Structures are given as structure tokens and as C-alpha cells.
Chains A and B, each alone.
Chain A
């Protein structure tokens, strides 16, 4: 029978507590992956999975990964929105695993918008 053991958890708890003293526990950025039925059918689970694995691998504590429903542009799924504390949210479309990892490293962690994957950056034109 598979079950998580109390001894293992106690070990993880001690290790986490030791590490926790070294960080402030504040999230710097939020990556929200759209996981409506359309997003899931288009591969949103692979996107979140890639993100969580990278965060585990690199032991990244300052990024929060959340999910939400359909963003209204089903044909451009998988989509994600990156929001840096104090900054405007940026929507990314037609995501792949490689794209979301680049977005995590360059935008969420380093603060630089990955313009080539963004849904709309400066696309609105005023005709006045």
C-alpha cells in the first residue's frame, strides 16, 4: 500500500525550517496558467508540470504558480499570465514547455518581458 511516511516528512520539515530562515518567504512574481477545459485540452497541464519541475529543480521560492479558467481566447491556448509585484500583468499565448521556462527565467525571475511570446505588447494603435 502506498502512503507518505511520517518519518520522511519530519526530515523534510527540519530541512525546510533550516532553509526558511535564509529567505523572506515573499513571492516576487505570480505565473497564472489558464486551465479551463480549452486550456487543458490544448496542453496546459504540460505547461504547469514543466514550471513546477523547474521550480523544484532550482529550488525557486519566490515564484507562485496558480491556475485560472478560460481567458476567452481558446484558440491561443495554452496561455499564461505573468504578474510581477507592482508591474502590469502580461499574457502569453501558444505556449510550449520551452517557452514557459524561458518566460519563468527571463520575465518572472529577471523582470524582462519576453516580447516574442507575449499576446499583445504595444499592438494597439491610436488613429487620432
Chain B
């Protein structure tokens, strides 16, 4: 993966596969602490202890389930740049993946186009709700599709004009960062 925004998309696809109805994505960039925290949390099916133990292993398998490369690649991106990943999961409650990165590490991957990742997640999964919060030092951008849907009152969130509006707002905020 070239950047962190592609990892976010990849991990969020796991949440969708886990039948999540609500996915939370939080980014906290803190230059003073030289840290970027990235959290992806869902209310999906969750994983049992056995799966959780092997999830970091690229060839891990629980026999019934096929293996995946999403978490191992994300882990590699974090560890290469002095970062770490914490995964918490509970059956029928959901999963939370939290990653910490050192902002000034020379091997730190760029954050990439998070706006693009979000637009795609919202646009192709209108039935799933997303909460997004990006904090950057003292500034922040917040988006909650539950609130948006209430305001839209029956208009689909993936209607072209709504998507254009969300895209513009995201791009506007990222342009001034």
C-alpha cells in the first residue's frame, strides 16, 4: 500500500465484511507529541481469541477461514516506521484497530487522500453509517452520516448531488491543511 488512506480503505472493507452497520474512523495528528493515531472501529461480528492471535500472521488461518493480507501489510507499514498496532475484538460486539505512527520517521508513509477513501466508503455503502473525525493539532474535521441522513430526510446519501457536496466539504478542509 502506498499510503495510509489505502490502508484505511482496506481495513474498512474488513468491517463491511464483518457486517458492521456503524464504522468509526479517527485520525489524530499531534506534532507536539510527534504522533499520528489512526483508529478504525466497527460494531461488526468481531473475532474470537484464536483468530485474534493469528491475525498478524500473513499466512495465518483458522482452517475454516481463509487468510488475509490486510492486517499484516498494515502492521508492516506501522512497524517499518517505528509505529505499532493494537487490535481489540469481541464476538458480536465489534473490532477496533488502533495504529500509532511517528510523524517525523523517515519511513512513515504519507497519509494520502483520506477524502477519496471516505467518499468511496460512503458512496458504495449507503446503508452503513460512518463517523469520521480528523484532528490536526488545533483544527478538526468531523462528519457523521447518521446526522447527515437525518437532515436529508429520505434523500439517499449516495445521490449524486449529496456526494458532490460531501466531496467538496472534505476537499475544502484538506486543501487548507
A residues sitting closer than 8 Å to B (CB atoms) are 1-4, 6, 8-10, 12-13, 15-17, 19-20, 33, 35-38, 40-41, 45, 48-49, 52, 55-56, 59-61, 65-67, 69
Contacts and interface: CB of A to CB of B under 8 A. Distances in A.
The listed residue with most A CB atoms (<10 A of its CB), out of B13, B119, B125, is: B13
Given A2-B172, A65-B124, A56 B17 contact: no
20 contacts: A1-B139, A2-B139, A2-B140, A2-B141, A2-B169, A2-B170, A4-B165, A8-B165, A9-B148, A12-B165, A35-B13, A37-B68, A40-B13, A49-B116, A49-B120, A52-B124, A56-B164, A61-B159, A67-B120, A69-B13
Interface string B45-72: 0000000000000000000000011100
Nearest to A66: B124
Contacts of A15: 161
Task: Say what secondary structure dominates the interface of chain A.
Answer: helix
Given A2-B173, A9-B151, A40-B6, A16 B68 contact: no
A36 B13 contact: yes
A3 B141 contact: yes
A37 B120 contact: no
Contacts of B13: 35-36, 40, 67, 69
A56 B163 contact: yes
A60 B160 contact: yes
Nearest to B70: A37
B155 A13 contact: yes
Contacts of A61: 159-160
B155 A12 contact: yes
Contacts of B142: 1-3
A41 B13 CA distance: 13
Given A9-B148, A13-B153, 4 more contacts: A9-B165, A36-B13, A52-B119, A61-B159
Contacts of A59: 160-161
B162 interface: yes
Contacts of A33: 124
Given A55-B160, A56-B160, A60-B160, A17 B155 contact: yes
The 5 closest A-B pairs by CB, nearest first: A2-B141, A2-B173, A9-B151, A16-B155, A56-B160
